[in-house]
Structure 1
Amino acid sequence: MTNKLEGRSAIITGGLTGQGLAIAQALAAEGAKIAVGSRALADRKNGEAIARESEHIVEARERLSGYGGIVYFGHLDVRDPDTIAQFIREAEAVCGPADILVNSAGMTSEQPVCGHSDELWLRIIDTNLTGAFRMTRACLPGMIERQWGRIINIGSTAASVGWKDNPAYCASKSGLLGLTRCVALEGAPHRVTCVMISPTWVETELMRNNVRELVEREGRGRTVEDAISDITRQNPQNRLIQSDEVAALAAFLCGEGGKGITMENIQLTGGALW
């Protein structure tokens, strides 16, 4: 722990699992105050909190509380402007205004263009792209006012390389790259950077679920483990990228060493194209 981010406040969307949780942990280790938002966290009905404590929530609390800093967990659906406004109000009350925003919330569902429903298309775009736009729109003015900020969008190699049966996901990540570049230009005069980190397959529960969906659709007898082994062999480094690698890069970009890195799409691939 170097406390390079001591006094800074970070919002991480989709921060309960996988890359989001790893990034939250890396930033907490550097002394940042952490606000984790997720749809899986406590919802509200008639002003009362409804606890939905899953094993993921318990694990996240344990991992982040170990650094002794301020941590806030709140319900956040990036598709809903009202919950965004409520989450940001509550996060600011605990952690202060956001200096760092990590747009990690995302989803995918593999479907071919032919037969892809409007509802699924819009849900993926709304989560992966419009959700990041809404969060940025909410946090960027304060960063500009304070003349310091870091916005990190978690993208994918899908932003640059097409993939069969992934039209909505590829479109959303391509759009996220365009958003990243526009935000970087808007923030540049105010010491606000915006960068997209685009990994290839990252070994997470989400990846496993995606692979499970893939093999079920194939219907040719491959197991999930067989498919993951095939994906691993396709990587020139013969391995899967790990969440802590994404987190380490994010932590660097949030520090002073990353202040000149903006408008970039940094691919973390081990040499793989996808």
Structure 2
Amino acid sequence: MTRTAIITGGLSGMGLATARRLHAQGVTVCIGARRGADEAAIKALHKAIGAPVMTGALDVRSTDSVAAFVAAVEAAHGKVDILINTAGVYEEAPVIDHPDAMWDATIDTNLTGTFKMIRAVLPGMKARHWGRIVNLASVAAHQGMANNAAYCASKAGLLGLGRCVSLEGAAYGVTCVSISPTWVETEMLRQFIDQEIADTGADRAAVRAKYEASNPQGALVQPDEIADLIAFLVSDAGRAITMEDIQVNAGSLW
């Protein structure tokens, strides 16, 4: 039986790596992203995957956008078996004088957006007695860091949300797990490195080495490593793994 998967934020990073991995094993991949209707982004996506996949505009903060995208996937493919929530944002600010807009955007995207996606697909999964939901959390769900209140709160919230979803789905063959990585070598991390170089004039190799040294293994986690883990969790072999958060931390607290 061919499974159908929705991946939010699948145009880059861990979402894109997961799309490649699942497509390669025969899953029908559908990607929703804010830039999901951009022709250049779609062209780049199809080149990265090696084949055209269903892609559409999706703003996970919007109930209407979520409903429209899920309905389009169901109309095209009949069902949604797998949901991978990788859409997310990251900004830093201290608690004192923290901008409301930054807080709202982070919580609305990382936590509420994930909730809205799950709410939209869970009834169908329960009705078919099969479903897999994976939420991309972070080591920030477990550890605090100065100037990261919104991000840490949003990711910690995913753990509580996942426990509730797991209990609602358990009797119907629906699992819900989260993955909490440390620094992963994604486009976002490369942007951080570029910004630090621009701000400080530091050597690129030195800045990268700093991130690599942030975990005891001395190497950045790769998106494909996360994708391989997700591929297992959404398979039949992952049936009994639910209400779980898996830290891919390379031995690091952050």
By how many angstroms is 1:215 displaced? Answer: 6.5
Question: d(CA) in 1 for partners of 2:169 and 2:80?
Answer: 15
Query: What is the TM-score normalised by the length of structure 1?
Result: 0.88
1:71–1:95 Cα contact (<8 Å) kept? no
In structure 2, the CA distance between the partners of 1:122 and 1:224, relative to structure 1 (3 Å rule), is farther
Question: Which one of 72, 75, 84 corresponds to residue 57 of structure 2?
Answer: 75
SS of the aligned residue for 2:152 comes to: helix
1:72–1:95 Cα contact (<8 Å) kept? no
Question: d(CA) in 2 for partners of 1:64 and 1:188?
Answer: 32
Percent identity reads 50
By how many angstroms is 1:213 displaced? Answer: 5.0
1:39 aligns with 2:34: yes
In the alignment of these two chains, the number of paired residues is 254
The within-5 A match list for 1:12-23 is 12-23=7-18
1:61 aligns with 2:61: no
By how many angstroms is 1:65 displaced? Answer: 4.2
Question: d(CA) in 1 for partners of 2:181 and 2:161?
Answer: 18
1:268 is matched with which residue?
248
**Mind listing any 5+ residue stretches in structure 1 that lack a counterpart?**
1-5, 43-51
The within-5 A match list for 1:96-115 is 96-115=78-97
Question: d(CA) in 2 for partners of 1:224 and 1:129?
Answer: 33
In structure 2, the CA distance between the partners of 1:187 and 1:155, relative to structure 1 (3 Å rule), is same
**Mind listing any 5+ residue stretches in structure 2 that lack a counterpart?**
none
1:152–1:194 Cα contact (<8 Å) kept? yes
The within-5 A match list for 1:189-268 is 189-213=171-195, 220-222=200-202, 225-268=205-248
Per-residue Cα deviation, 1:75-119 (whole angstroms, up to 9, x for no partner): 000011111111111111222210000011000111111221011
Q: Detail structure 1 runs of 4+ shifted over 4 Å in the superposition.
A: 211-216
SS of the aligned residue for 2:213 comes to: helix
By how many angstroms is 1:212 displaced? Answer: 4.5
Per-residue Cα deviation, 1:58-82 (whole angstroms, up to 9, x for no partner): 221123344xxx7210100001111
Per-residue Cα deviation, 1:154-196 (whole angstroms, up to 9, x for no partner): 1100000111211100000000111011101111011100000
Question: d(CA) in 2 for partners of 1:150 and 1:230?
Answer: 36
Amino acid of the structure 1 residue aligned with 2:26: G
In structure 2, the CA distance between the partners of 1:65 and 1:231, relative to structure 1 (3 Å rule), is closer
Query: What is the TM-score normalised by the length of structure 2?
Result: 0.94
By how many angstroms is 1:242 displaced? Answer: 0.3
1:111–1:167 Cα contact (<8 Å) kept? yes
